[in-house]
Structure 1
Amino acid sequence: MKTGFFAQPHPPYRRANYGFAYQWLEEVGRLAALLAQVEALRAADPDHRYLATLDDVQQCSYTSGHASMDDRLYLDSPAGMDWDDPAQEAAWNLQALQHRALQLRQAQNPSSWAAVCGSLSTSPDDIAALVAANRSQDALLDDVVYIQRLPLASDDPLIAGQPNGYFSADWDSFQNHAIHQHLAQQHGYQLFAMGASWMALARAEPPNAAQAQALVRDLRLLYATGDEELLAHPGWQALPVLLQSQRSLVLGYTEDMADRWE
């Protein structure tokens, strides 16, 4: 794995819409290696939080930029701002990040999870793609991965640093945050990578059989509520076995997940 920092002179990659881009990685190879890198950064720097990209890094930048324009997240820049002044741009990025975190945090409520369940249009092929993605998680890594170093408090929503869920048929940033919050509270999974179509979470240890079954019951509600065919999909029987062998969990949040997996 090759790594470098955006603070170095003439980095080979643009920050794009990643305002707090800190490190880039090439040839990561395994999602477990990316998780280890994120966790090492967190352990060495507890004053910041770290979030990686997933799947297509450029498409993720594009959709994240647009997702940030959501009226509930957007904060207009001050009049007369000089975008060529790095200090002004850095101050503005921080202010916008804090605004998004506040908006997401204030939107939290116990009913958010229930409201998200069944709200994404899914097909049997999408459920099969969800299982396949968790069987082959490494396939979700792009050739280059960015890691952001976010000045967020421990109770701030991590997705504030990389909001996503832009297209109208996808789960938006608030719905994705509700999912992250529920999976953290009920199953011990924390977000560590956010992509244009997929997101990755991890827990301290792989779940045991009972924990994996409980998680899949919730995922079944999340993706299949209201659809008897999807609720009976055989993939729900295969998924708990997969999850017991790994700490990480990947979830699609866009329409036509099967197409995005291919």
Structure 2
Amino acid sequence: MQVTRFDLLEPALQGRLNSNTVARLDGVETFAEVLVALDELRAAHAPARILCTLDDVDQCAYTSGHASLDDRLWFDTDDSDDPATRHRADNARTAHIAAALDAGSIAWEALPGSRVGGEQDAAALVELNREPDQALDDVVLVQRVPVARDDLALAAVPNGYFTGDWDTFQNHAVVRRMAAHGYRHIGTGAELLAFDRESAPTPEAARAVVADLVHLYGASGSACWAELTALLAERRLLIIGYGEDFAEQLA
């Protein structure tokens, strides 16, 4: 994997989300190598948060741009060619979106019924968490996010554009709920969200995580949930789908 780091005030380069893109990872094959890069970038840019892209980087950037046009998130910025001016504008936009998410928090209890995939989604979650490398594009962009809390890193790549997706505010509710289980949000893709934690959860803690996923996805009688519980108890990563068709993308 090749890691290209960017200076924050470097003029815009092709393949960047904005001036807060601090690295581009090319030839990505495994989540393990991405996690190493994220740890290095996190240390280099502390106390800012770090967030990476996941599946389909181009589609992720496209839908994120449209998702940010939501009236609740919209922030008009100056399209100056001056790098310093553009960087200030990118930071102001991120701060505005983070504040909007904080002020417009959705209660966890309001989320049931927002997914309709049932058994298909449950099976896709098992597949994703058994083989998390498939959640990554071969190009990953890494964002520096100047926010005060891990849950607000979502503001760097707001997403959830299509009608059947969870929108950005629903995604934020999920991120906050997973934080209660010890998971930090580390990535957003065109269809997926990724989380890590310091160590794998205990079997009891994994069962609590899966109970919340049943709350989101339904199919409470599926045998997939027991399989997912066993998988999560063995690993630090958690991958879930927020996009309407995330399960179909794995077919």
Give yes or no for TM over 0.5: yes
2:150–2:185 CA contact under 8 A, matched in 1: no
Cα distance in structure 2, aligned partners of 1:232 and 1:45: 44
Cα distance in structure 2, aligned partners of 1:184 and 1:20: 24
Per the TM alignment, residue 261 of structure 1 is displaced from its structure 2 partner at its CA by 2.2
Q: Which residue of structure 2 aligns with residue 227 of structure 1? A: none
What amino acid sits opposite 2:216 in the alignment? L
Gaps of 5+ in 1: 225-229
Cα distance in structure 1, aligned partners of 2:185 and 2:179: 8
Distance 1:106 1:25, change over 3 A: same
Distance 1:232 1:31, change over 3 A: same
Query: Which residue of the other structure, out of 229, 234, 237, is the alignment partner of 1:248?
Result: 237
Distance 1:12 1:73, change over 3 A: closer
Per the TM alignment, residue 12 of structure 1 is displaced from its structure 2 partner at its CA by 7.5
Query: Which residue of the other structure, out of 84, 90, 101, is the alignment partner of 2:98?
Result: 101
Matched, 1:127 2:128: no
Matched, 1:172 2:152: no
Q: Which residue of structure 2 aligns with residue 238 of structure 1? A: 227
Cα distance in structure 2, aligned partners of 1:58 and 1:28: 15
**Seq. identity, %:** 42
Q: Which residue of structure 2 aligns with residue 188 of structure 1? A: 182
Q: How many residues are paired up?
A: 250
Cα distance in structure 2, aligned partners of 1:211 and 1:252: 20
- Map 1:54-65; keep pairs closer than 5 Å: 54-65=54-65
Q: Deviations over 1:14-56 (max 9, x none)?
A: 21x3441110112232112212321232234322111010011
Q: Which residue of structure 2 aligns with residue 260 of structure 1? A: 249
SS of 1:231 mapped into structure 2: coil
Backbone CA RMSD of aligned residues: 2.0
2:122–2:224 CA contact under 8 A, matched in 1: yes
Distance 1:232 1:18, change over 3 A: farther
Q: Deviations over 1:191-249 (max 9, x none)?
A: 0011000110011100111111111111111111xxxxx11111011101111111000
Matched, 1:150 2:166: no
2:192–2:240 CA contact under 8 A, matched in 1: yes
Identify the range of structure 1 (30-39 vs 204-213) with the bigger mean alpha-carbon deviation: 30-39
SS of 1:257 mapped into structure 2: coil
Distance 1:141 1:156, change over 3 A: closer
Distance 1:242 1:153, change over 3 A: same
Matched, 1:198 2:192: yes
Per the TM alignment, residue 160 of structure 1 is displaced from its structure 2 partner at its CA by 0.5
Cα distance in structure 2, aligned partners of 1:45 and 1:251: 27
TM-score scaled by structure 2? 0.93
TM-score scaled by structure 1? 0.89
Per the TM alignment, residue 13 of structure 1 is displaced from its structure 2 partner at its CA by 4.1
Cα distance in structure 1, aligned partners of 2:129 and 2:191: 14
1:216–1:239 CA contact under 8 A, matched in 2: yes
1:207–1:247 CA contact under 8 A, matched in 2: yes
